[in-house]
């Protein structure tokens, strides 16, 4: 039987990520499965996000690079949890080191809730590779492969 970790709220998320407003793109972690090496996070997209002022004011869509960043953030959380690292305590964080095969399938707009899925596909010392997907209402909006690497703060 798979053991799921408890949900992480914003306070716990901030223990794992160095990001702060306006660059934190994970509102909640819904589940973490250490055995499967997977995580599901949530980003609620609201019209008052700072990037909507310029992208695009009359027809706002979330920039694709920020969707990838949100996926990188949940990947970093999963990597930290699996390795037992808390940045504030241990002095290490996971950085985004690469993205491959990134595809965007549909725009993300204000009012959408993005479910951020990441699965470990490869692990080697301080580096982890993930297959990641962002979905809105079970519809794929972005798929990518991400590489994260741990470095001393």
Which H helix or E strand runs over 97?
strand 92-104
**What pLDDT sits at residue 3?**
58
Inter-residue contact 63 to 111 (CB < 8 Å): no
Predicted TM-score (pTM) of the model is 0.95
Q: Is 55 a catalytic residue?
A: yes
pLDDT at 59: 94
Q: What is residue 87's predicted lDDT score, i.e. its pLDDT? A: 84
Segments in the chain below pLDDT 70: 1-6
Q: Is the peptide bond before 33 cis (omega within 30 degrees of 0)?
A: no
| CA–CA dist 24, 46 (Å, integer) | 13
Q: Dihedrals φ, ψ of 3, to 5°?
A: -100, 120
pLDDT of residue 5: 60
d(CA 15, CA 10): 9
Q: Which of 19, 55, 117, 122 is catalytic?
A: 55
**Given this model, what pLDDT does residue 81 score?**
94
């Amino acid at each position: 039987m798979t053991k799921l970790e408890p949900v992480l709220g914003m306070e716990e998320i901030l223990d794992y990520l160095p990001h702060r407003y306006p660059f934190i793109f994970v509102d909640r972690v819904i589940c973490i499965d250490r055995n499967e090496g997977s995580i599901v996070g949530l980003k609620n997209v609201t019209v008052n996000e700072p990037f909507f002022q310029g992208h695009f004011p009359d027809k706002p869509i979330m920039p694709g690079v920020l969707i990838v960043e949100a996926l990188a953030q949940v990947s970093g959380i999963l990597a930290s949890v699996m390795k037992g690292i808390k940045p504030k305590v241990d002095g290490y964080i996971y950085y985004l080191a690469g993205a491959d095969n990134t595809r965007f399938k549909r725009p993300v707009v204000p009012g959408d809730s993005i479910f951020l899925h990441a699965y470990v596909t490869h692990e080697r010392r301080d580096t982890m590779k993930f297959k990641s997907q962002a979905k809105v209402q079970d519809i794929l909006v972005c798929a990518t492969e991400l590489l994260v690497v741990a470095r001393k703060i």
